[in-house]
Amino acid sequence: MTPDPETATFLIAGPVRIHPRVLRAMSTPSVNHRGDFFHGIVQEIRELLPVLFGTKGHQVVLTGSGTAGLEATYSSLVPVDGRTLVLSNGNFGERTNTIVRRYSTHVTTVSAPWGAPIPEAEVLNELAKGDVRAVCLVHNETSVGLANDLARLAPAIRNSGALFLVDAISAVAGIPEPIEAWGIDAVVAGSQKGLAAPPGLALVHLSDRAVHALRPGTFYLDLAAHLKSLEKNDTPWTPAVPLFLALREALLLLKEEGLEHRLERTHRLAEASRAAVDALGLELFPDRRYASDTVTAVKNPEGLGDPQLRKVLEREYNILLQGGQGALMGKIFRIGHMGIADWPDLLVTFAALERILGKAGRLPAPGRALSAIVDRMP
């Protein structure tokens, strides 16, 4: 079979598959971004954003990928004259560290090996010193398929009085994130993950406290300027109009499904994926207790690297999974099951994995992975 993007089973760790309604929403004639039609679109998006974040608040759409949201947030909220704590246990934690250090020279990084949980005692120890003014971390470490335990870390961070800034790019609309209960001040989402819109927009939720603390960071991504324009259903600079049209449709789809339902479905798909991985005799990469519900990261079995697994899936079955990043390249593969991913995607993927492992004489029990999925279907 020739790989065909139009019909592929597409389960990379984001961008994710896009609903045809969202695709169609993008193919419109040119729109005047300063005219009534577009102002109406922005107004609708503003009204729909609480569906995505699960709460109302100050919410901004930025033209730019998720990293634009991170840069906007860190450049305007990381204090210049106070200490910032960065927690890191994967590629995106390291990215956070790099961005934050562009905007502050007073940074402490608490890190764990990729795929291991954040050392809570060390975090508490740093917070107890009483001078931490901002804490930055990644909720869902896409690179290793691990969800950090924010429910556990949040109370101490909130009680410390520090600004709590979260890269939730692959968590929002995939993993429960009670923003207010956890006291998060900035939540950064990307359009191409749980929301299932195309890549190219960053969505940022800010608390009242964060809005008061904003300082001019970068010019293009100035959050205060974006907030001010959005109040008038406008954007400060020319926005990526087709992406805004797609965003509105993706938000409508999310509203129709309901955030709770999407989170629940994503969780069930994740549980089924983990059970199917076990049934294949393969091993999860991260500490199992923290395995992510949006991305399942699996160790490549001995002797079966990307050329024998992922590339065969792609070439012979038109199934796209993602490989490892950095030092994990060729050592793990990742299955993204967020957004509008659904049971047929998993069934096809694990059927093909069974076939490949079976042909290699490495399948413990034919059919068991598929049963593990079927047993968990609604």
Interacting residues with ligand PLP (CB under 6 A):
14, 65-67, 92, 138, 140, 142, 167, 169-170, 190, 199
Q: Which is nearer to ligand PLP, 63 or 170 (CB)?
A: 170
Cβ at position 26, least distance to ligand PLP in Å: 18
Q: Which is nearer to ligand PLP, 201 or 312 (CB)?
A: 201
CB atoms closer than 10 angstroms to residue 127:
19
Cβ at position 257, least distance to ligand PLP in Å: 22
Cβ at position 140, least distance to ligand PLP in Å: 6
Residue whose C-beta lies closest to ligand PLP: 66
Cβ at position 243, least distance to ligand PLP in Å: 12
Cβ at position 169, least distance to ligand PLP in Å: 4
Cβ at position 374, least distance to ligand PLP in Å: 30
Assign 3-class secondary structure to 72-130: HHHHHHCCCCCEEEEEECCHHHHHHHHHHHHHCCCEEEEECCCCCCCCHHHHHHHHHCC
Q: Which is nearer to ligand PLP, 77 or 356 (CB)?
A: 77
Q: Which is nearer to ligand PLP, 190 or 339 (CB)?
A: 190
Amino acid of residue 132: V
Amino acid of residue 107: V
Q: Which is nearer to ligand PLP, 54 or 194 (CB)?
A: 194
Integer CA distances (angstroms), 62 to 27, 40, 204, 230, 302, in order: 20, 17, 8, 11, 43
For residue 255, how far is the Cα from the chain centroid?
A: 19
Q: Which is nearer to ligand PLP, 167 or 177 (CB)?
A: 167
Distance CA 130, CA 74 (A): 21
Amino acid of residue 306: D
CB atoms closer than 10 angstroms to residue 157:
27
Any idea which residue has 């019909």 for tokens?
A: 7
**DSSP assigned state of 105:** S
